[in-house]
Structure 1
Amino acid sequence: MRIDDMTPAEQRVWRAFPRGADVDFRTAADEDPARGADWGPGRTVRADVLRALLLSAPREDGETPALRLAGARITGELRLQYADADHAVRLSACFFDEVSVLYAARLRQLNLRGSVLPALGAETLRVDGVLRLSDCRFAGPVRLGGAQIAGALFLDGAEIGEPPEGRPALQLNHVTVGDGLSAPGLRVRGEVRLAGASVAGTVDLNGARLRAGTGAVAVDAETLTVEGDALLRDTDVLGWIGLRGARVAGRLDLTGARLANPGGTVLRASSCSIGELWLRRSPPMDGTLNLRRAQLDVLFLEPDSVPAEVLLNSLVYTSLTPHEPAGRRLVMMLERDREGYVPHAYEQLTAAYRRIGDDDAARVVQLAKQRRRRATLPWYGRWWGHVQDAAVGYGFRPLRAASWLLSLLLTGSIVYALHHPEPLKADEAPEFNPVFYTLDLLLPVISFGQEGAFAPTGWYQWLSYALVLTGWILATTVVTGVTRTVSRP
């Protein structure tokens, strides 16, 4: 391209490029590039001129070429597909008439901060440094699938409009980011696709507003790998978030997040591995929380943040915080499991309480487990379960069994004190003692010589049979409960 064929504005950009000098057409610092369609020839640059600069512009000895342009209206399609441009590119606060196509291009660095674009097609783009799309406004989709970014990716304050039906609004699937993905305040109308992406640093989506719609995918992050934290504090999401098979080495922080997908799953984090999952200081999710088969080191879950339905089967966590009474955890977590009775969930909660030394809470959880299980049994199993519960709390209330023993001892002592049973051998029988006689009937191991020496008749004999049977059951339960407490790992 000959410089004689260029407008004065284009000649200015062409001459500045070999020295890496800035060209700024803005008339005010707060100028809105969304009005760029009205900018005249004095600040209009054809996309073909920029392409020629990056691919074939002359150099000056001792200078580092770079494209640094601000406040320009860029007309035509910026076509850099498969291009190899060894220069830094900064096109900030610019207005693009047409979609920029950077498919499979390689750039040293790309900065479009504050620009307004119809869309961006940059699949498999390679950037040796930083890719900055901060405060950009896109009318349509941003496609960066398979891109390789050696530095950080910045999308902070960016706005992305609704894409064509069936397409994601922000496509970052299988992208590789050598540093962090910084997107606080991001606004997206449609799906954010992060499936298979790999981020060496932190993913920051704090304060983002992601509006895909009820029943639609808001964030598809299946098999996402994050070596740092994934921050979604104070985010506002309409649609569901998919994290199936994802790995977050640090913290997945949903503090203050407002997540809604009425009538469906709102957070699907099944089969994922997360260092710490934080759900705190936020309203209950409007939808189902799915943590099945997830592996967590720390689960920071405030009961008030738990939605009405959860799926916790095979969830494994080492620590559960903050410390809450067992009854509150049962009501706000386990009793909301859509699958009903899930034994593994009770065992996990029991183990969490035992690790911090709260044995009473652990026993409460185990008792609740037996009661929940009882509802799944046939009628005769439920009947026997009610008997066990009332009598000894399924063995987790051994003192209740002792109380029953004392009550039976008192009853038998009074009855047999009023009606002495006849001795089997009058000349050999010891003096009758109603208390020790009743103890002989109740205690299966200890013998005071009373039971074998006297023989009640009539209904008193049936009473003795009942005392022997209940004594065996209750005494065994007391021993089992004490053994469980002493031998607990």
Structure 2
Amino acid sequence: MAKMAKGRSLEEFHGPGSIAARMAGDQTSGPIHLHPGEWKLLNACRMGGVCTLGIDNIIRADFLRFLLLGGDKDAPVHELGVQIEGASIVGQLILRGAALPNKIALRQCRVDGKIDLRGANARTINLEGSSIAGLDGEHLELRGDLILRNAQITDCLYLPGAKIAHDLDCRGGEFIGPHGPAINCEGITIGGSALLGESCRASGSVNFNSAKIVGDFDCSGGSFQSGYGPALAISGAEIGGCAKLRDDFSAEGVVELVSARIEGHLECTKGRFNNPNGYALVFDGSQIEAVVFLDRGFRANGVVRAHGARIKGDLHCEGGSFTGAPMKEFIERNNDGTCFALSLNKARVEGKFFLQKCTISGNISLAHTHVGVLHDNSPTIESFYSKIHGKTTLNSLRKQFSRNPEYFKIHEAAASRFYLDGFTYDRLDCAAPHDCESRLKWLYSQPNELLLKEKFRAQPWIQLIKVLQAMGHKEAAKQIAIEKQKHLRSIGKIGDPIISAFHDFYHIFMDYGHRPWKLVKWTVGIWLLCAGIYFLAWKEQLIVPATPIVASDHNLPGKANTSFDEFNPLFYSLDLLLPIGGLDQAKNWKPAVGAAILNEKCRQFTVASVLPHSSGPESTETCNAQVSGNKRDLARRKNLVLLLRYVTSMEHLFGWAASLLLVASLTGLVKKDS
């Protein structure tokens, strides 16, 4: 008879006289020595039935191993495999490298030693409801499921590099890692789903880094608590279905999905993520082919971070609660303990980003992030703005920036802020606010240092203007652009006095190029105003013909001979206003100079003062009075002529400036928002 390997023959389990007994020095013969539960199990395996025992029935781990390996000719095992319900398995069950031909079911059992399945090959293993000291399945290969539903593993579920053809079912289980991880499935390959929900509890880190899961990764309703390290780590994993951390999912410690690839949704609805001194949920660099749900009961006490993530669908944050914590690298870089609630730096969301009806305590960083559609709402924006600026109006706020920027620096850390530098979006959702006031409050909810002169960021303003224009909200876009220029002036960002003066001119007459017809209105108003001034000056004979010969032939004030154009105040004003004249009014008429300042009455008094007069005190007194009045009138007329020359010069200068500015604005030589 051929010798069998140790543990592969029923003869080893004889009583006195058995191989085992003779090896121990007992040479007497005897029957097979088995515990009552083992006899029952032996018969059940032969018949293909379930061996139902009480927890007080003992089955030796070595005898169970003999049956799991297929038994022998005296103890055949049915193709339905070994099926036990309720037994105490004593000793370590060592199946390292074994090829287990049949299904294994150890339900509601107590295994007081570890189960060693390293490198083993088996079909389905069902340990539902069992209590196990530990399970080591490194590089285990299963052609079916690994079922640990409602099981308790008190040391560690260790399955790195394992391959499971169907599901890993840990629903309702309890996993304890007293000195390290509770579950280590790094690099595992699962052909079905990984199920760790329905009140599954893990006391210790859970590691699924670099796992490949064809179906879902479902932790809905699970509870994960780590004394050190991440509570749940799925970094680098590939998940063909959805990652479900929802419906009363709870994590005490960071949940990491760094550089993971998820073909379905990332669902965190009603999930609770608690790590108040650091990161609560991190999915940096992850690629999610569907939708991310951080909504409707989602609560994060710690930073939610998704730097560089790629989300093909929507990002839902509506109804979520985000309580911030300081980010480690922000503290190291800026020596600043600013709390962040949500940080999406360099992320890309191709669908909609829903940010409304949520509670946020901390900053939101969208630096260099891109979303397809931004869907926020006025209450969320108002909440941020009011936390920062209280009831301060936008006009008062702009004055405060120019007068006392230090006030805002003092209150910088006390409020939630939007970091918007580099944030781009294709459009605003139709339900999001498009009005100027709401959007300005959004922009003014940025960190104050990014609104002040030294570190001012123009990109958020330019992006908003661009999107509003593309969506057809032209007036709101213009108002935002005008407000931007006003803010630049209030923080002293315009430049030297000459540029500042041009900036003021550009604002008053054209609203920085956004309302060019405003300049036309100003031009018409100045034209008519100056025409009225010139008419009054002409009536006072302060505007005279430019040619002396013509002027000497005037018999009537303001009239020339029949071959000379009559004075027209409207045409005269228009001729001065237009850079290129052609109306000949400014050529033929001009403000009076020299003797022409004197009107006819002044001339009579001037001549009378030098002609002989009748002697006598009364005649002398009358003459002196006339000369004195004439001098006062002459001085007044000289002042009026000086004022008239100033008006004509300024109108001519305005005409040139307005024409050049209008042409430059309409042709694009001067950018509207420069």
**Does the alignment reach a TM-score above 0.5?**
yes
1:316 is aligned to 348
Unaligned regions of 5+ residues in structure 1, if any? 27-38, 485-489
1:353 is aligned to 428
The superposition leaves residues 262-310 of structure 1 with CA deviations (integer Å, 9 ceiling, x where unpaired) of 1322221111110211111024522222222111112232344263422
Aligned mates of 2:96, 2:505 — CA distance in 1 = 76
Instruction: Say if 1:62 and 1:223 are closer, same or farther in 2 by CA, change over 3 A.
Output: closer
Instruction: Say if 1:110 and 1:62 are closer, same or farther in 2 by CA, change over 3 A.
Output: closer
Instruction: Say if 1:144 and 1:273 are closer, same or farther in 2 by CA, change over 3 A.
Output: same
Instruction: Say if 1:72 and 1:327 are closer, same or farther in 2 by CA, change over 3 A.
Output: same
1:167-246 mapped onto 2 (5 Å cutoff)? 167-185=180-198, 186-212=200-226, 216-234=229-247, 235-246=249-260
The worse-fitting range, judged by mean Cα deviation, of 249-258 and 431-440 is 431-440
Q: Does the CA contact (< 8 Å) of 1:429 and 1:453 recur in 2? A: no
- The amino acid across from 1:229 in the alignment is C
The worse-fitting range, judged by mean Cα deviation, of 286-295 and 73-82 is 286-295
1:133 is aligned to 148
1:114 aligned onto 2:129: yes
1:11 is aligned to 39
Q: Does the CA contact (< 8 Å) of 2:48 and 2:77 recur in 1? A: no
Q: Does the CA contact (< 8 Å) of 1:413 and 1:438 recur in 2? A: no
Q: Does the CA contact (< 8 Å) of 2:281 and 2:303 recur in 1? A: yes
- The amino acid across from 1:262 in the alignment is P
Structure number, greater radius of gyration? 2
Aligned mates of 2:187, 2:343 — CA distance in 1 = 28
Q: Does the CA contact (< 8 Å) of 1:18 and 1:64 recur in 2? A: no
1:23 aligned onto 2:51: yes
Instruction: Say if 1:371 and 1:126 are closer, same or farther in 2 by CA, change over 3 A.
Output: closer
Aligned mates of 2:438, 2:505 — CA distance in 1 = 15
Q: How far 1:157 sits from its partner (Å)?
A: 0.7
The superposition leaves residues 33-56 of structure 1 with CA deviations (integer Å, 9 ceiling, x where unpaired) of xxxxxx53xx11111111111125
The number of residues matched between the two structures is 453
1:69 aligned onto 2:84: yes
2:556 is aligned to none
Higher strand fraction: Structure 1 or Structure 2?
Answer: 1
Aligned mates of 1:248, 1:92 — CA distance in 2 = 33
2:594 is aligned to none
Aligned mates of 1:163, 1:253 — CA distance in 2 = 30
Secondary structure of the residue aligned to 1:416 is helix
Q: How far 1:113 sits from its partner (Å)?
A: 0.4
Aligned mates of 1:251, 1:439 — CA distance in 2 = 71
1:384 aligned onto 2:399: no
Aligned mates of 2:506, 2:13 — CA distance in 1 = 98
2:176 is aligned to 161
Q: Does the CA contact (< 8 Å) of 1:391 and 1:401 recur in 2? A: no
Secondary structure of the residue aligned to 2:236 is coil
1:52 is aligned to 66
Q: Does the CA contact (< 8 Å) of 2:243 and 2:262 recur in 1? A: yes
Q: How far 1:81 sits from its partner (Å)?
A: 1.3
Secondary structure of the residue aligned to 2:255 is strand
1:300 aligned onto 2:324: no
Secondary structure of the residue aligned to 1:84 is coil
Q: Does the CA contact (< 8 Å) of 2:48 and 2:81 recur in 1? A: yes
Instruction: Say if 1:9 and 1:137 are closer, same or farther in 2 by CA, change over 3 A.
Output: same
- The amino acid across from 1:353 in the alignment is L
Aligned mates of 2:576, 2:278 — CA distance in 1 = 60
Q: How far 1:313 sits from its partner (Å)?
A: 2.3
2:263 is aligned to 249
Q: CA RMSD in A?
A: 4.6
Q: How far 1:409 sits from its partner (Å)?
A: 5.1
Q: How far 1:199 sits from its partner (Å)?
A: 0.5
Q: Does the CA contact (< 8 Å) of 2:382 and 2:441 recur in 1? A: no
Secondary structure of the residue aligned to 2:181 is coil
Instruction: Say if 1:106 and 1:377 are closer, same or farther in 2 by CA, change over 3 A.
Output: same
- The amino acid across from 2:375 in the alignment is E
Q: How far 1:471 sits from its partner (Å)?
A: 7.6
Unaligned regions of 5+ residues in structure 2, if any? 1-11, 15-31, 325-339, 355-373, 389-414, 458-487, 538-542, 548-563, 591-643
Q: How far 1:182 sits from its partner (Å)?
A: 1.7
Aligned mates of 2:444, 2:585 — CA distance in 1 = 39
Q: Does the CA contact (< 8 Å) of 2:381 and 2:438 recur in 1? A: no
Aligned mates of 1:389, 1:136 — CA distance in 2 = 76
Instruction: Say if 1:303 and 1:2 are closer, same or farther in 2 by CA, change over 3 A.
Output: closer
- The amino acid across from 2:493 in the alignment is W
- The amino acid across from 2:196 in the alignment is A
Paired-residue identity, %: 20
Aligned mates of 2:666, 2:653 — CA distance in 1 = 20
Q: How far 1:64 sits from its partner (Å)?
A: 1.4
Aligned mates of 1:374, 1:435 — CA distance in 2 = 49
The worse-fitting range, judged by mean Cα deviation, of 67-76 and 118-127 is 118-127
Aligned mates of 1:408, 1:92 — CA distance in 2 = 91
